[in-house]
Each structure stands twice: as structure tokens, then as C-alpha cells.
Structure 1
Amino acid sequence: MKIQILAFLAFLSVSNFSMAMTGPEAKTTKEVMNKALGSFVNLQPFIHDPNKFYDKKHDEYINVQLQNIIDVFKSGSHNAKLNAPGFKPSFETISSYLIATKEAFNSPHKGFAHNRLQALSGLCMSCHTQLDSQNSSRFSVSLKAVRRDSFQSDFEYAEFLFLLRDFTSSARYYERVLAEVKAIDLKKKMATPINFETYKKALQRLVTINIKISYKPEQALAYIDKYASDRLLPPLVRDDFTSWKAQIKDLQKVYTPWNVSNAEELLRFEKKYLNGLDEEGLGSGAEDMKLLAMSGVLTKFLNFRPNSKEAPHALYWLGIAEERLHFNFFYSLGELYLKECVERYPKHPYAKKCFKKYEEIIVSGFSGSAGTDIPSDEQKELSRLKSLISQ
């Protein structure tokens, strides 16, 4: 793929299920989850402090933590939950990604390894927003050693809490980021460099928590009303916030909290809310809030109904949603959802739709002013997928 996509810690999300399980399998899942998360926690000081990361006296310790995580993901390859349609796309690339990160760390290219570790936080969010806060338990890792002062900023700490699915605490720290900027005197703002990219991301996370994870549009609007009107916001950022507000208000008129629990309800949901999505609106961002809300519904459906005969419908729309939302929100798992649709359900009518969309994404990704130049490995993959639906 043109971008190696994964959702780090997808395996850890299995803890959401293990709490409802009993016997040896539940114990094993929970123990393995805590081992991986523990190593990830141990890497935090090095992810956020480049000086520590590049200091050779820490090499052995960092290598051990990386290897622990690699081993955990290898051991989870046969886990039934991880082979479900909702998790498998993000899980399948984890081992190779982490191995490459470890290899880079032990080469002259430590900077590449550091960039990868920093990216893991954003990558895993695509997976950790799949289950709502009411149906999930926070990871049972002790946070005593990972306090606010372990991070350089409120935003970094909020991101870490988000990864642990502690959405209540992460929201509090995201709002601190926004409130701090809002409280600055206007004249000082004009003279003080402000990271509006971080400001936008903080508000994005609050919107995500209240649209995708727990559908509370009124709370999302309250955040936007409070923090989206700063006079010094760059015009494009302000325009995004204005668009989000309008879209959420439109959502409130037609959407209610959904519980798509079976194939029949999924097809009704698709017919009512998805089939009429405007193609031009998808490209412009005019449907982002609808896609965000919809993706929350569909990932929950796949997680709790992984063997549904109509799962390809959910995978298709998740592919579309993820491909669009990664521009503003997280890293895209769109290609992987579409591939999973074709590979797992080649005889389903939607497999052809999934392949067509996947092909469009690949061709577009390798097209430019000089024409289209698709690498041979991507061409072979397209041919392989096409052969599956042609049999």
C-alpha cells in the first residue's frame, strides 16, 4: 500500500470483550493485553522526549519493550475476536509494522523509528473509537506511573488518556487545551504563536467522543459554540468548525441513537441514512459528521455481529467513511475494510462494490500530473482481488 496503515493496540481492545468472558480464554486475553499495554506505557517517556530516545544507554530497555509488544501481537493471531471483520483489517499489519520499527531503531535511522512510535498514538485511535464508552472497560493498567507531568503538554496527556479509552478524563484535558487559548488576551494572542493545528485536533476529539463513541450531539454543539468563534482562528479552521456545527444540527433533525443489532436492521439503516449520501458532499467534507456518526454504528455492529451474512454492507460503508475521515480525524483503515470485504465475502454482491472502491483509491493514490504509475506489487494485488470476485 502507498501508506502502511494499522491501528496499533487493536488487540488491546479485546479487553472490552474479556470482561464479559469467563475461564482460561478470558484470563489469557486480559493478561496478554496488560503485558502489551504495560510495554506501551513504558515507552511513553521516550516517545515524548527525543533526548531519552536517542540516548544509547536506553537502547536495551526500549528494545525489550518493543519486542514484548511484537510477541504479544504474534500470540494473538488466532484470537477469534481479532479475526472478526471489525478488528482483522487493523490487526493484520501490526507485526510487520512493529518489526520494521524495531529494525529502524537498531539502525542508523533512529529518527524513522521515533516518528513511527509517535504515529502509533494517532493510528490506534481509528480502532479504539469502535466501541462506545458504556460498553467498554478502561484498560486495567495502573496509571500511577503515568501522570500528567510525564508529558510535555495537556494535549499529549489527553491523547494518551484517549488511547486508554478514558474518554471522560481525556475530554477534560482536551478542553484545557482549548480553554488556555481562549483565555489569552486578544493583544497577547496577536503577539503569541498559537498552534491552531493542536487546537483544531482537540476540538475534533471532543466532537468524536460525542458523535461517534457516545451519540450526544448537544454536547458536541456546546463545545463548538464555546471554542469555535475565536477571532484569531485561521479562516479555514473557522470554516471547518462552522460546517461541523451546521452538519450536527442537521443530524439532530433526522438521527436518533441507533442500535443496529441484526442484518435486517443494518439494511434498513443503510437504506435510510447511507444510500442517499451525496458523492460530491463526501469529497468536500459536507458529510463528515454523518460519516463520523455512521462509522460508530457500523463498527459496533461488526464487533457484536461479526458473522452476519450482511457484514459486507458495513465493511463497504466503513471503507468509504474511513477514507474520507482520515483527512480530518484519524488514520484511514478504509483500504483494509474494503479488502476484508472482498477477501472474506467474495461471493456477496457487495464484494464487487468493495473492489471497485478499493481500485479507485489505489489508482487515485498513484495518479498525478505525470499520469498513473501503479507499482507492480499493487497491480498484482488488484489482480488477485479481482480474481476472487470473478470465480
Structure 2
Amino acid sequence: MNKLILFCISLIVFSACQNKPTKTEEVDDGFMPPPIWNSSMQNMKQTMISLQPYIFNKVLFNDQDNFQFLSKSIHKLAIESANIKHDPMILNRDPTVRFVAHQFADELQRADENFKGSWKEYSRSQLVKVTSYCLECHTRLHQGPAFQKDDMEAPFMKTLPVADQIEFQVAFRKYDSAYKMVIENLSGKIKNKESNFKIDRVVQLGLLISVQYLKDIEKTLKITQAIDHNPSVPAYLKQSNEMWKKSIENWSHQGNINTLVQIRSLVSGRISEIEDMRAISALLQLLTNDLNQDELGEALMLTGQSYEALHAISVMSLDENYYESCIRKTPETKWAPICLKKLTDSLVMGYSGSGGTRIPWHVTAHLEELKNVIKKSEANK
């Protein structure tokens, strides 16, 4: 049993994250204790299994013939998440873990509301994002539940595109097998027959594994070498590869980074995504230390900033959570207004499209509430 009991525990990664913390007077909103699964988890597990093909298929999800089934299933998840009991133990090592736990339930409730409204695609993105919380939980500090071999052999898993298979290997912390799959696909050892094979996503996931999770510069170099030696890799990836090589060269000179000063310097001299991956890895560890308010605010802001820079990679971006965490935990610092602006910009972007920007009332109300958190703190100075 690991020392840190994480809230994402389940046999399937999809079912691991549908919990709603109970608000208590002793704990700030958004920083809740981890849940203890009850019998409701099994129901959620089955519901998520039935939803999997739709969540990862835009056409099926938006097909009117599937509306009743999806509406009922999504609502069921939102309702059942409220039935999860909670462990009174509060995680102290990383306050953002509890924040993410609180957001699981919120995402489900919003996905339910948005699906019934006119934001179906945003609802789908929220359901995908729920999975990203599981990935984040299982990979952040290499702690949490151990998984059995059978967990990775679900029939549905093999029907997923290569990139999604790699992603779920990561979710189960099977880094070596995920990395092997990346190299095989990049080197041309496996002739991929997928009509929509996204080699750029495979490359980025490979970097995520070797840089952020394994912190292995040699494995990262092998990815760049595989790209160099594969003539079928698109030209734009070849160009990006040159930037990754420069980042790796800097990495070889800098070595490991541990302090806020080092992390700040790293991201300010950003060359490619590799700097953000290294920063996140270091920041997640730094957040387990005893930081003063100013240090905590900056660390949370930098974490959100790096996650935002990695938005295009997989579904693991949790920048909005870290920005909100920055506001709630350090409202009196100079970082809170910065985080509020970054959060606002991110949310506006999420609700923007060809038809303009349509921000739901609850999002506007939520931002206003966060503004008041800062104002209240300023008034108390």
C-alpha cells in the first residue's frame, strides 16, 4: 500500500475519476479529502464502459439517434458521483490533488448541463477531460494504485487508435511498454494502417513519457533519432525535431532542476515543449514542499502555464485547475490576478467558435466569484 492514498483508484482508468467530495467547514472549497469508493463506483464503471465508444467519436456523440441514451447515461454519472463517501484523511503533500478531486464532480455536472443545452461538443470534451484527471493523478508523483496486467487487455482498448492506446498505457503507468509502442511506430517497424493515424500525437506522447515521466534524456534522444531516420515523417515534424534537439542539448548542460529559481529560468528560456514537460515534473515535486504564499502562488501559476502550453498533447491539460488553485490558495499575492486573467482567457477560448463566443452563465458566475475572492483578500490587508 503506497503511503499516499490517491483518489483515482479503479480497475479501469475511465471509472477512476467520477467522485464528488463533500464540502466541509474545515477545508477550503476546492481542497477536499480523497474519496473512498462505495458500491456506486461499480455502477459508474459500467456506465463509463458503455460511454467509451461515444466519448471518443465525435460523430457518434453528436448523432441525434444517440441523444436519449447519452443524455440518460451522462446524467446518471453526474447523480452517482454524489454518492461517493470520503476518507477523513486530508492529503498534505500536494494540495492540488484535492483540488482536482473536487473538479471531477464539477466536470460531470457541467457535462450533463452542457449536453442538454447547446454545447454538446464541449460536453464531450469535458467527459474526455475527466479521463485526463485520472492520467494526471496516476502519473504526477509515481504513486497510487498498482494495476494488473488484465487491466490493459480490455477488448475495447485494442480498438482504439495507436495514440489512444499509448495514452492509456501511460494512465496505467506502463511507461516502458508505452515508450516501446512509440518507438515502433516512429521507426517504421510497424506499418500503421489507420486512415487518421496522427504521428505528431504519437511523437508528443513519446516526449511526454521520456521527459516528464521518466526524465530520461537518452530515451528522449532516441525519439529524435527515430524521427531523423524515418523518411515518411512530415516536414513540419522534422522542423520541430530540430527544436527538440536544442532543448535536449540544454537539458544535458542543465541537469536536473529542483528549485523555483531554476524552474522560472527554464520556462523563461523556453525553446520547445520539452521545457514545459521538465517544468511540470519539477513543479509537481516542488508543490509537495513547504512553500510560503508567494512561492506557492508562483509555482501554481507556472504549473498552469506549462500545462496550457501543452494543450495540444493528449487530454492531460489541467491548466484551469492550477490557475484556480493559485487564486484560492494565494489570493493575497501578486500571482492571483495573473492567474485569474489566464483562467479567463482559457475559458473564453474554450467557448469560442465560428459562431462567436458563447459563455454559459455558470462560467461567468464562477469567474465573478473568483474575482471576489481576490477582492475580499485585498480588503482584509
TM-score, length of structure 2 as denominator length? 0.68
Match of 2:374 in 1: 386
Deviations 1:239-267 (A, max 9, x none): 222211210221121113x6x6xxxxxxx
Partners of 2:364 and 2:113 in 1: CA distance: 25
Of residues 372-381 and 38-47 in structure 1, the stretch that sits farther from structure 2 once superposed is 372-381
After superposition, the CA RMSD in angstroms is: 4.7
Unmatched 5+ stretches in structure 1: 1-9, 16-25, 261-268
The verdict on how the C-alpha distance between 1:145 and 1:275 changes in structure 2, with shifts beyond 3 A counting, is closer
AA of the residue aligned to 2:340:
Y
1:340-351 counterparts in 2 under 5 A?
340-347=325-332, 351=333
Percent identical residues: 17
Deviations 1:351-381 (A, max 9, x none): 212422432553587699xxx9999647634
More contact order relative to length (CA 8 Å, sep ≥ 6): 1
AA of the residue aligned to 2:206:
L
1:40-59 counterparts in 2 under 5 A?
40-48=48-56
The verdict on how the C-alpha distance between 1:77 and 1:59 changes in structure 2, with shifts beyond 3 A counting, is farther
Partners of 2:120 and 2:345 in 1: CA distance: 32
Q: Report the 3-state secondary structure (helix = DSSP H, G, I; strand = E; otherwise coil) of the residue aligned with 1:251.
A: helix
> Which of 186, 189, 199 is 1:178 aligned to?
186
Q: Report the 3-state secondary structure (helix = DSSP H, G, I; strand = E; otherwise coil) of the residue aligned with 1:93.
A: helix
Deviations 1:105-128 (A, max 9, x none): 678987665555455545654454
1:57-136 counterparts in 2 under 5 A?
63=72, 67-68=76-77, 71-72=80-81, 75=84, 80-81=90-91, 84-102=94-112, 113-114=123-124, 116-118=126-128, 120-121=130-131, 124-132=134-142, 135-136=143-144
Q: Report the 3-state secondary structure (helix = DSSP H, G, I; strand = E; otherwise coil) of the residue aligned with 2:95.
A: coil
Q: Give the length in aligned residue pairs.
A: 340
The verdict on how the C-alpha distance between 1:129 and 1:382 changes in structure 2, with shifts beyond 3 A counting, is same
AA of the residue aligned to 1:288:
E
1:1-391 counterparts in 2 under 5 A?
11-12=7-8, 29=36, 35=42, 39-48=47-56, 63=72, 67-68=76-77, 71-72=80-81, 75=84, 80-81=90-91, 84-102=94-112, 113-114=123-124, 116-118=126-128, 120-121=130-131, 124-132=134-142, 135-139=143-147, 142-143=150-151, 146-147=154-155, 150-180=158-188, 195=196, 198-256=198-256, 269-271=259-261, 273-277=262-266, 279=268, 281-282=269-270, 286=271, 288-302=273-287, 304-305=288-289, 311-328=296-313, 330-347=315-332, 351-360=333-342, 362=344, 377=365, 380-381=368-369, 383-390=371-378, 391=380
Deviations 1:100-156 (A, max 9, x none): 434566789876655554555456544543123xx4444459437614774143333
Q: In the alignment, is the contact (CA less than 8 A) between 1:338 and 1:355 conserved in 2?
A: no
Partners of 1:362 and 1:254 in 2: CA distance: 34
Unmatched 5+ stretches in structure 2: 1-5, 12-32
The verdict on how the C-alpha distance between 1:388 and 1:290 changes in structure 2, with shifts beyond 3 A counting, is farther
AA of the residue aligned to 1:99:
Q
The verdict on how the C-alpha distance between 1:320 and 1:41 changes in structure 2, with shifts beyond 3 A counting, is same
Larger helix fraction of residues: 1
Partners of 1:148 and 1:364 in 2: CA distance: 33
The verdict on how the C-alpha distance between 1:252 and 1:208 changes in structure 2, with shifts beyond 3 A counting, is same
AA of the residue aligned to 1:29:
I
